A and B are shown apart, each in its own frame.
Chain A
Amino acid sequence: MAEGKYIYCIVENSKKVNLGKIGLGGNKVYTIPCQDISAVVHDSPAKPYESEDNEVVKDWVIAHEKVVETAWEKLGTVLPLGFDTIIMADKEKNPEEIVKDWLKEDYQSLKEKLEKVKGKAEYVIQVLWDTKVIFHILIEKDEELKKLSKEMKSKPRGAAYMYKQKLEKLLRGRLEREAERYFKEFYGRIKACTDEIGMEKIKKEEEPRQMLMNVSCLADKKDVKTLGDELDKINNGEGIFVRFTGPWPPYSFV
Chain B
Amino acid sequence: MPIDINEDNLKHGLLGLVIAIVEIIRDALKHQALRRMEGGSLTDEEIERLGRALEEIDTAIYQMKEEQGITETVKSVRDGLDDLVDDVLDRIINPKTREEETKLKEI
Contacts and interface: CB of A to CB of B under 8 A. Distances in A.
Interface of A: 52, 156-162, 165-166, 169, 204
24 contacts: A52-B1, A156-B48, A157-B48, A157-B51, A158-B52, A158-B53, A159-B44, A159-B47, A159-B51, A160-B51, A161-B51, A161-B52, A161-B55, A162-B33, A162-B34, A162-B37, A162-B47, A162-B51, A165-B30, A165-B33, A165-B54, A166-B34, A169-B34, A204-B79
Nearest to B1: A52
B52 A157 contact: yes
A151 B30 CA distance: 19
Contacts of B51: 157-162
A157 B48 CA distance: 7
Contacts, number: 39
Counting chain B residues whose Cβ lies within 8 A of the other chain, the interface size class is 10 to 19
Determine the main DSSP class of B at the interface with A: helix
Majority DSSP secondary structure for residues of A touching B? helix
Contacts of A52: 1
Contacts of A158: 47-53, 55
B38 interface: yes
B51 to A, nearest CB: 3
B1 A166 contact: no
Given A158-B47, A158-B48, A159-B47, A166 B38 contact: yes
Given A157-B55, A158-B47, A158-B51, 13 more contacts: A157-B51, A157-B52, A158-B49, A159-B48, A161-B52, A161-B55, A162-B37, A162-B54, A165-B30, A165-B34, A165-B54, A166-B34, A169-B34
